[in-house]
Structure 1
Amino acid sequence: MATSERWIVELTGQDIAALDAALAHVEAQGMAWHDITRESFPLGALADRLEAVREELENGSGMVKLRRIPVERYSEAQLKKLYFGLGKHLGYTLFQNNRGELMREIRDEGASVVGERYGQVQTKDNGTFLSSYARTLSNGALRFHTDRCDVVGLLCVRQAANGGVSKLCSSPMVYNTIRERRPDLLEVLCQPYYRSRFGEEKGAEQVAYPLPIFGLRDGKLTSHYSLTYIEAAAFIAGVPPMTDAQKEALALFQATMEELSFEMVLEPGDIQLLNNHVVYHGRTPFTDDATQGRDRLLFRLWLSMPNSRPLPQDHSVLWRHVEAGAVRGGIGQEALLPA
């Protein structure tokens, strides 16, 4: 997957012209970015190219890099309109946190600040445990994980002075490798691990749910994983500790991801689209240099896809809806209190 280039889509001059025309259309109407719909952002022939992007994401490699939007030509406000409008042609936009954000600016906001703002707990040794969301908004490394949506999209506006490289890994490759080496531990990974909703729905800090790392339905694989949520579940009273077999399986799983991973460098104007069911993603730490215009900024969209795969019934605890093509995922806006 890493050596093929079928997942790279070069935007043509005609494609950029279509984006410019759609942007001019919504700006003439004074439309805010979050009010843009597919119908209000007409893309002409580019919309047909995006059909092929959806197909590659679901039935191909599970990843696409769209290159290259001339980000230097637009203000950040214009880029949000352009990106959101394009996203509306790909899928259904989802809330990414319990504050109702449909697009998130991914930048270094400072670990001490984001912990207080987006979730942290004190550990028994007086350390600080950050929520997954808070970690995203620091400049630290991000471990391999998946997001709570069919497809996550990142538009690179500016890249860091150093680091911030995207790390990717195919979940089917991990599944098949573990099946060959340790089928006994693959069976464990297909059984539930407890996760915490810490940092997600309002009032959910003490809510945990069981979910396997791997699931199969109708011959389609899905994998949902974030070590942070598994670790956070240990802070919740009543959650059973992991068994020795679960710990061994998790260690093998993590080592296999690292072994099979590869890197993708995003340049300004690139859009990375990943199918979370079949691709894990992470990030190397980074250092900004704002004086040189090298302070990392990405715009993130979470998308539910109209051509998505069916999920196992037990995945409804996280996704709510599991049928193929259903609008699913994202963060609910209602308060979720522990039972």
Structure 2
Amino acid sequence: MSAEEDGNPQPPPDYPTYINGPTTWSKTDPNIVQLGSIEVAEIEKGSQHFHQLELDGDEVTPDHFPLPNLRSKLEECALEVHHGRGLCIIRGLRPERYSIEENIVLFLAIASYIGDKRGIQNSKGEVLSHVTESKSWTVPKEKRHGIHTNYSLPFHTDMGCETLCIQVRDRANEGGRTCVASIATIYNDLVRTKPWVLHALAKPDWPIQASFRKEAPFVLGPLIDYHAGNLCISMDPARIGPHPSNRDGSVPDLTQEQQEALIALQETAKKHQTQLDTEPGDIILINNLALLHGRESYLDSDTSSRHLVRLWLRNTRLGWAIPPSMIMPWDAAFGERASKVIDRYYPIVPMPNYIECKYSSGTAAFVADDGFDEWADTVLRGAGEEDDAGPRLEEDA
């Protein structure tokens, strides 16, 4: 389809003809905040202080984990994420120097200077997700969530998240780079080449799988929205339309125009992408409303296992305004819906036994599973730190 055939040679109504600003980049180098030995020593001193207080995961905050000298650098990083290019990497920590639990505490501490709110990532109340493919899992890949395979992942956002925060625990033996692309740059390209795609993405008729299955299984909304002076995107291809295992007609199929628009979006994102070369210990920060991210396929060796730890952040002072059209997944992570999930969990390792999900094998964001009550009975209420959820920093003591 061409702009002439579609009859929409201009962008959608109330959208700009061109977006200019720091998030409009192509193939950029990320801003890297390199931690020196003095700064690492300050982080380790802060860790000692925190452990003396005998607190838990939700209480890893700047007040309880002081970094008086490093604070200014981290605040600059927060500005870069929210009002700069939308991408920053903090480098210099070495995971092998610390225990598994200590690595999580250091991750949470540094992240607390970037965002003061942490989102829950599923209806179980988990604040951390482990993006990896464990060698111990026996559930077939096609029945797992996309982040728990070694397959490539298309460009997407973690729907509901504002700032995506990732700790690199280990790298793959081959491949597995995270790729990022600016929606503002993609938008400017499509205005010139395929404006019909923007009209399709902006229409509020995309069936988005809901976060809680006890209500309607989907809502209709756009994938992009120009709101409060920012172009926002909320898009996970695997969360749009019916889930492959649940084609009962409760969620509409995508139209041909929508399918073609997603293909054009992926192609344009790849054209402008930056591939991140990361190191173990890196903390990657991505403005999830401004940037798409994807992943190369990868191979682990007998001694390597690509392993990222994922955290969703919100900065109540610097964060972008959330478009009303995108409020559903955000509410499940940060809003009123999230506040109804009483217990919050911080799993410090991947689950030893994979629990197959009925509906949530998407690219990034979890969708509530009808099997949650069964999961809660057998795991959360079953007691024992070495259960199927794995050891965690408890929040319900």
TM range (shorter): 0.7 to 0.9
- Normalization by structure 1: what TM-score? 0.83
CA contact (8 A) 1:216 1:311 kept: no
* Map 1:137-176 → 2, pairs under 5 A: 137-147=148-158, 148-176=160-188
Could you tell me which of 72, 75, 81 is aligned with 1:51?
75
SS in 1 for 2:65: coil
SS in 1 for 2:240: helix
CA distance in 1, matches of 2:191, 2:136: 38
CA contact (8 A) 2:43 2:67 kept: yes
State the shift of 1:274 in Å: 0.4
CA contact (8 A) 2:217 2:251 kept: no
**1:77-101 deviations in whole A, cap 9, x for unaligned?**
1111111111122111111122211
CA distance in 1, matches of 2:111, 2:337: 15
CA distance in 2, matches of 1:229, 1:44: 42
Question: Greater helix percent: which structure?
Answer: 1
Alignment partner of 1:318 is 2:329? yes
Equivalent position of 2:197 in the other structure? 185
State the shift of 1:161 in Å: 1.4
**Alignment-mate amino acid for residue 276 of structure 1:** N
The percentage of aligned residue pairs carrying the same residue is: 25
**Alignment-mate amino acid for residue 208 of structure 2:** R
State the shift of 1:331 in Å: 6.0
RMSD value, Cα: 2.9
Equivalent position of 1:196 in the other structure? 209
CA contact (8 A) 1:145 1:282 kept: yes
State the shift of 1:237 in Å: 2.3
Distance change (3 Å), C-alpha of 1:111 and 1:315:
farther
CA contact (8 A) 1:202 1:333 kept: no
SS in 1 for 2:67: coil
Distance change (3 Å), C-alpha of 1:236 and 1:172:
farther
CA distance in 2, matches of 1:330, 1:287: 38
CA distance in 2, matches of 1:329, 1:289: 43
Distance change (3 Å), C-alpha of 1:115 and 1:22:
farther
CA distance in 2, matches of 1:59, 1:108: 34
Alignment partner of 1:230 is 2:244? no
SS in 1 for 2:96: helix
CA distance in 1, matches of 2:152, 2:289: 22
Q: Give the aligned length.
A: 315
Alignment partner of 1:267 is 2:294? no
**Alignment-mate amino acid for residue 107 of structure 2:** Y
CA distance in 2, matches of 1:141, 1:329: 34
Could you tell me which of 147, 150, 166 is aligned with 1:136?
147
Equivalent position of 2:253 in the other structure? 241
State the shift of 1:212 in Å: 1.0
Equivalent position of 2:109 in the other structure? 85
Alignment partner of 1:208 is 2:218? yes
Equivalent position of 1:99 in the other structure? 124
CA distance in 2, matches of 1:170, 1:303: 19
Distance change (3 Å), C-alpha of 1:175 and 1:2:
closer
Equivalent position of 1:37 in the other structure? 61
Distance change (3 Å), C-alpha of 1:33 and 1:240:
closer
Distance change (3 Å), C-alpha of 1:202 and 1:273:
same
SS in 2 for 1:65: strand
CA distance in 1, matches of 2:194, 2:221: 21
CA contact (8 A) 2:155 2:293 kept: yes
CA contact (8 A) 1:208 1:233 kept: no
CA distance in 2, matches of 1:54, 1:297: 24
CA distance in 2, matches of 1:330, 1:177: 37
**1:128-171 deviations in whole A, cap 9, x for unaligned?**
565xxx11012221111101211111111211211211111111
SS in 1 for 2:70: helix
CA distance in 2, matches of 1:151, 1:12: 25
CA distance in 2, matches of 1:244, 1:157: 40
- Normalization by structure 2: what TM-score? 0.72
**Alignment-mate amino acid for residue 295 of structure 2:** R
CA distance in 1, matches of 2:172, 2:133: 10
Distance change (3 Å), C-alpha of 1:108 and 1:337:
closer
CA contact (8 A) 1:190 1:215 kept: yes
**Alignment-mate amino acid for residue 320 of structure 1:** D
CA contact (8 A) 2:223 2:233 kept: yes
CA distance in 2, matches of 1:104, 1:182: 36
CA contact (8 A) 1:155 1:271 kept: yes
CA distance in 2, matches of 1:44, 1:311: 31
CA distance in 2, matches of 1:268, 1:330: 34
CA distance in 2, matches of 1:81, 1:290: 28
Unpaired runs of at least 5, structure 2: 1-24, 342-366, 371-397
SS in 1 for 2:311: strand
Equivalent position of 1:74 in the other structure? 98
State the shift of 1:112 in Å: 7.0
**Alignment-mate amino acid for residue 101 of structure 2:** A
